[in-house]
Every structure is written in structure tokens, then in C-alpha cells.
Amino acid sequence: QVEKRLELVKQVSHSTHKKLTACLQGQQGVDADKRSKKLPLTTLAQCLMEGSAVLGDDSLLGKMLRLCGEAEDKLAQELIHFELQVERDVIEPLFVLAEVEIPNIQKQRKHLAKLVLDMDSSRARWQQSVKSSGLASNLQPSGAKADALREEMEEAANRVEICRDQLSADMYNFVAKEVDYANYFQTLIEVQAEYHRKSLALLQNVLPQIKAQQEAWMEKPSFGKPLEEHLAVSGREIAFPVEACVTMLLECGMQEEGLFRVAPSASKLKKLKAALDCCVVDVQEYSADPHAIAGALKSYLRELPEPLMTFELYEEWIQASNIPEQEKRLQALWNACEKLPKANYNNIRYVIKFLAKLTEYQDINKMTPSNVAIVLGPNLLWPQAEGNMTEMMTTVSLQIVGIIEPLIQHADWFFPGDIEFNVTGNYGSPMHVNHNANYSSMPSPDMDHADRRQHDQARRPLSVATDNMMLEFYKKDGMGVRVMDTSWVARRGTSAGRKASSAPPAAQPPAPPAELPPTPHSPIPEQSPEISAAPSPPPTSFGFPPGAER
């Protein structure tokens, strides 16, 4: 039984030794210094350190390469120590077991077999001698020859006995030392565990340093990142893309027809988004293309992981928009605003105030509160589990328009107080000087008709590329508003009359507006086209523009 186990143990030990040796990354049998030069981790560490020297510590990549290079070098030293220990305590003993100890026992067994044959041969010769002598004289064999044969036989038997005893002792020792042989593998696991513990400690020590460098680096992308994360990293209250785009639009885009509706050049939009992600914007370059700025603002709002008006309050916004009485509806919308997280509240207040200012120029830019709500609403609020595009454009988007439009019309009621759009003072010029030679200075909403016509002639032509998917949907007869028909603007009279018609309710929050008339049965009020400067009633539930053809 032991002989059979000897061969099996030898095979297993030999195979394990071979595979374990193959796992070593360093050169076997050499000292630590020579082994280190051939180690892949050492080569990687050297490459990282050289890259760090090339890029320098002024760049984030340079700092990362240096920290990682140092960590990899320490890991390489731990790996060398681990491999030397495995080689000494596991690989070499396995080699001795498979190639020395067991073969020696097997050689002893073969030697015993040879001695037994010798003994048998000696006995046979002696017996033959005895037999021959007995036949000849019937006497006991005597003489020197017989004595020599007997002594040879006895000596052979003695050698067999000694060899058998030695073989038995070696086999018993082998069986007894199986615990020691098994301990080789326990040592392997213990050495591996210690190596990994030390490696993990090294990595855990360097990770906080790496994260600290990352967090201290201000130039982080903002598109597609959570609002709170971006604000925390940049130390801002208003998201960088929002402030940059709004400030530039205030300078060069308020009079642009179809702002937020006309599609910008795809390449310009991509370039501007990339620039905003790097926190670098050439105000003068983009002042010539306000549609690209507006497109970037829409993209930022839409790419937020959570809408600015939050998923948590989505149902409350929708329920508020469904309230038929205007007074209660506005109060419900105000209550929802107050529940927004501080970061979201500050940014939605900033955006709505800007949109309200944009609609003051609706005679020129044709962007009424309704139009702005249609094209921007789905970028400010959307359901968490979105369905298909058709479903979103029908039911959900119509409700969202009913939320955003009143916010724009009554911006000063929902968000009282003035607002400074250029919070950081980094965008545009203090006097709002237009960098685009094709624009004249921004006109006042109350500019008379002759001045407006002269100003319009100086403006550059509108981009041909438009994105009318949402607007075409709202042009359908069943929706009660014809967005593309802007002829009603000319019939609405002066800016004073328009401002009066969209004046916010007199009451201040939290009390609901008290001076609003009851909501009529139709969402679109009838209004005579002859009205010019006379104030009109406050907006209805959806705030749709009045017009005789409605």
C-alpha cells in the first residue's frame, strides 16, 4: 500500500512543483535585485514614473501616474519577497520530496529486490552442492567449498534483512511525515494571505491620496453629472454651464428669433459642450451663434441624471398642473417649488427668471411663455420611467407645459426679488457690449416700431436648420394653440399691455393669489384684437396667448 502511495505522491508533487514554478513572475533561483529587474510590475512602475516626469505634477494625469508608479513599485517589492518565500518554503521542499526522498525509497526497494535474488541464488547453489554431495557419499557435505557456499548464503540473507529493515523504516517515516508534506500547502496559503494583506494595505494607503488629488482638481466635466456633485466640486451655487450659457445669451441672444427652438450646428454644439466641460468658454466666439449656446443649455438640463425639478416631486408637479382653478393651481405649484432641494431651487429660480426675461422680447424673438415652455419644459421635468417618445410628447409633455408656462409668466411671484445673472462675473462684458458685429445693441422691449424695424434689418439671417418636432405636435388643432402662428403678436398692442396681461398675482406666498378671476370653462380666453395698451385679465390655466381666431 505504501509503495503504491509513493508513486502517486511523487506524481502529484512533481506536477504541483512544475505549475507552481510557472506562477512565479521573477526568475527562479536568483537574488532579489536580479529578480526585480525582470519583474513585469517593476517595468510597469518605471513606465508610470517616466510618464509622470514627462507630464509633470502640474497636470492631474502627471500626479496620478506618479502616485500609481510609486504604488506599483511597492507592490513589486512585496511580490519579490512573496516569491522568494514561496520558493524557499514550498517549491524547494516539493522538489526534494518528488525528486529525492521518494526516489531514494524506490531505489531502496529495487536494491532489496536485487539482494533477495542474490540470496536466492546463493541458497540455490548451496542446496545444489548439498544435493550433489549427498548423492555421491550419502554424507553431509563438508569441506571448504560447502562452508564458503553456506557463508555466502547467510551473508546474503543478512544483507536482505538489513535492507528490508531500512526500507521499512523509510516507508514508515514517509507515512509519518505526510503531515509535514501537507504543511507545505498550508504554508503556501499563509504566505499568499500575508502577501495579499500587505498589498491591500499599500493600496488602501495610496487610494485616499489618489482620491484627494481627483477631488482637488477643479476641472471636472459637468454634463451628465449630478447637480449636487458638480456644485460641491466647483464650489458654486449655479451650475457652470447654466450660468455661462445664460450670461452669454443675455448679451447676444435675447433678440434672436426662435431661440431654443432653432437647432444649432451639430459641430458647434459639440464644441461648445466640450468647452463647457473644460470650464473654458470663448465668449466672443459664441456670441455670434446664440442658437449653439441655447442648445448647450438644453443639452445640459436634459443630460442631468435627475431633472432640475426632481423625480421625487414629479407627481406633485403633475397633480398641481391638473387643478382646474387657477388660484389653487398656482398655490400648488408654489408649494412644490418650496419643496425643492436648495441646489435645485437656486438653479430653477435662475433659469425661470432668465426665461421670463427672454419672453419680454417675444415681439422680436417670437418666444412666448407658451413657446418657451414647449421647447424647454421636457428638459426641466420628465418621468423617471420614460415610455416611448410618442407617449411622452402627448400626455406628459402637455402637462409639463402647463407647469413651466405659469412659472415663467409669474416668475416674480414664484421667485420674488431681483437676480444677478452674472454671479461670478466671468462671462461677457460689464456693459453688455455685443462682440458680434452683425448685431446692434440689445433693444428694449418698449422700443417703438420704427426703431425695431431698423434694428431687425441689422440682424443676421436666421439659421435654416430648425428642430420643430415638438412644435409641430402642438400645432395640431386639438391642442388649442397654434404655436407657429405668430400673427397674434402684432395684434396684442404695446409691451405695456403685454406686461399688464401677464402680471403676477398680487398676493404673496404662501397665500394664494387673491386678485385672480375665476378660471373660465375654456382654457383659451376670448380677447378682442383691438385691445392695445389696456391691461388684460391675468393668464388662464395654461397661459395661452389671447387671440380673436381662438
* CATH label of the domain that carries residue 237: 1.10.555.10
Q: Grid coordinates standing for 81?
A: 519577497
On whether both 184 and 267 belong to a single domain, the answer is no
| Together in a domain, 278 and 380 | yes
For residues 190-210, give the mean pLDDT: 92
Does some domain include residue 458? no
C-alpha cell at 341: 432641494
295 within some domain: yes
54 plus 202 within the same structural domain? yes
Please indicate, yes or no, whether residues 272 and 398 belong to a single structural domain of this protein: yes
Identify whether 172 is part of a domain. Answer: yes
Residue at 95 is within a domain: yes
Q: Are residues 207 and 233 in the same domain?
A: no
C-beta separation of 502 from 539 below 8 A: yes
Residue 29 lies in a domain: yes
CATH number at residue 176: 1.20.1270.60
- Is pLDDT at 457 greater than 50 in this prediction? no
Distance between alpha carbon 13 and the CA centroid of its chain, in Å?
Answer: 47
Q: Is residue 547 part of a domain?
A: no
Domain count, the chain: 2
Answer with the one of 169, 190, 216 that is the final residue of a domain. 216
Containing structural domain, residue 291: 227-414
Domain co-membership, 31 together with 84: yes
What pLDDT, on the 0 to 100 scale, is given for residue 20? 87
DSSP 234-256: HT-SS-HHHHHHHHHHHHHTTT-
For residue 93, whether the previous peptide bond is cis, meaning omega lies within 30 degrees of 0, is: no
User: Which contiguous run of DSSP H or E holds residue 155?
Assistant: helix 144-176
The residues, ordered by sequence, that sit 6+ positions from 339 with a Cβ below 8 Å of its Cβ are 313, 316
Position 527 confidence tier, pLDDT thresholds 50, 70, 90: very low
Domain boundary among 414, 441, 474: 414
Lowest mean pLDDT among 62-76, 344-358, 364-378, 488-502: 488-502
Q: Do 195 and 246 fall within a single domain?
A: no
Would you say residue 187 has pLDDT above 80?
Answer: yes
Inside any domain, residue 60: yes
Whether residues 268 and 174 fall in one domain: no
- 392 and 316 in one domain? yes
Same domain assignment for residues 165 and 304:
no
Q: Is 456 part of a structural domain of the chain? A: no
**Could you tell me the three cell numbers for 17?**
512543483
The number of CA neighbours under 13 Å toward the Cβ of 442 is 22
- Regarding whether 274 and 206 lie in a shared domain, the answer is no
Considering the domain architecture, whether residues 4 and 125 belong to the same structural domain is answered as yes
Q: Which of 143-157, 252-266, 384-398 has the lowest mean pLDDT?
A: 384-398
Choosing from 355, 383, 414, the residue where a domain stops is 414
433 pLDDT band, cuts 50/70/90, is very low
The pLDDT mean for the chain works out to: 74
Q: Summarize pLDDT for 317-352 with one digit per residue, the tens.
A: 899 988 889 899 999 999 999 999 999 999 999 999
pLDDT at residue 485 above 70?
A: no
User: Taking the complete model, does pTM exceed 0.75, yes or no?
Assistant: no
